[in-house]
Amino acid sequence: MKWAAMGGLNDEKLIEMQPDVVMTIGNPGAKMDHYRMLKEAGIPVLINSEWVERTPLARAEWVKLMAALLDKEELVNEKFAQVESEYARLASLAGKAATKPTVLSGLNTKDAWFVPGGNSYMARFFKDAGAFYPWQNDSATGSLPLSFEAVSTIALQADYWLNVGFGGHDTRKSIIAMDTRYANFKAAKTGDLYSYNRLVNDQGSNDFFESGSVNPHTVLADMIRIFHPELLPNHQLVYYKKLP
């Protein structure tokens, strides 16, 4: 499939191929004008909006859409039920932890520090993994743009710092080199920094956003292993890794 200018699809090529369906990513409330040519040619367009879901399991359940398209509903329903059950078991296990360590997420940018909203899927992961997330009572479902100062007040005492590291910045030293103020954070001092970059291929594709989407129980197990290692002593991290 060839791409047209400005990152759009080559509609003429698609129409020539006559696919049974075209799946795209977008907001469920978005207008479909961009796909007018395809619709007029009788090609159905499905918008995959799993990314707007607020919980890990809700995102994973979108696999049932693919199951319907591929006539694999019975198999996928069975697999999803297993994922759902294991996720619930792990969340219950983490809920029994004696303490709830504080977790910080992400990095500062030139515009703002975008932290997960309290009603976002990442905040739900933190909650279900038995961690205290400082913005957990916020109602935002996306990201919250905050100043460095607003976040650093929390970061100075946060026990763990997750979702850091990208590209060539995947070590504690390289993260601190981006902003020397990071060195004052508790997690930076103790070395408790983690990224979800354990499974990244040579092209930069990150499996956290691929298989991790349909295996939220494994992502949750990673987090529990980080926050409460005594609860899952035999679990080996799959998607997350501790920054050296």
For 51-74, what is the mean pLDDT? Answer: 93
Ordered by start, the domain boundaries in the chain are 1-48, 93-242
Give whichever of 67-71, 90-94, 171-175 has the largest mean pLDDT. 90-94
User: Residue 6 has what pLDDT?
Assistant: 42
pLDDT tens digits, 17-59: 888 888 877 766 556 666 777 778 888 888 788 888 899 999 9
User: Residue 31 has what pLDDT?
Assistant: 60
Look up the CATH architecture of domain 93-242: 3-Layer(aba) Sandwich (3.40)
When pLDDT is cut at 50, 70 and 90, the band that residue 203 belongs to is: confident
Q: Which residue has the higher pLDDT, 7 or 42?
A: 42
For 91-113, what is the mean pLDDT? Answer: 95
User: Residue 168 has what pLDDT?
Assistant: 67
pLDDT tens digits, 123-163: 999 999 999 999 999 999 999 999 999 999 999 999 999 99
Non-local (6+) Cβ contacts of 98 within 8 A are: none
User: Residue 47 has what pLDDT?
Assistant: 79
Q: ∠19-20-23 over CA atoms, to 5°? A: 80
d(CA 48, CA 28): 8
**Are 25 and 35 a contacting pair, CB within 8 Å?**
no
d(CA 118, CA 112): 17
- DSSP-derived 3-state class of residue 50: helix
State how far Cα 40 lies from the chain centre.
35
Q: How many CA atoms lie within 13 A of 43 on its CB side?
A: 20
The structure tokens 């809920």 sit at 95
pTM (2 decimals)? 0.88
3 DSSP β-pair partners: 9
For 200-227, what is the mean pLDDT? Answer: 94
Helices (DSSP H) in the chain: which residue ranges? 11-17, 36-40, 56-60, 63-70, 73-95, 121-128, 148-155, 172-178, 186-190, 211-214, 216-227
Written as six digits, the tokens of 120 are 């976002």
Candidates 79, 82, 142, 77; CA nearest to 114 is: 142
162 DSSP β-pair partners: 105, 194
Phi, psi (rounded to 5 degrees) for 242: -80, 130
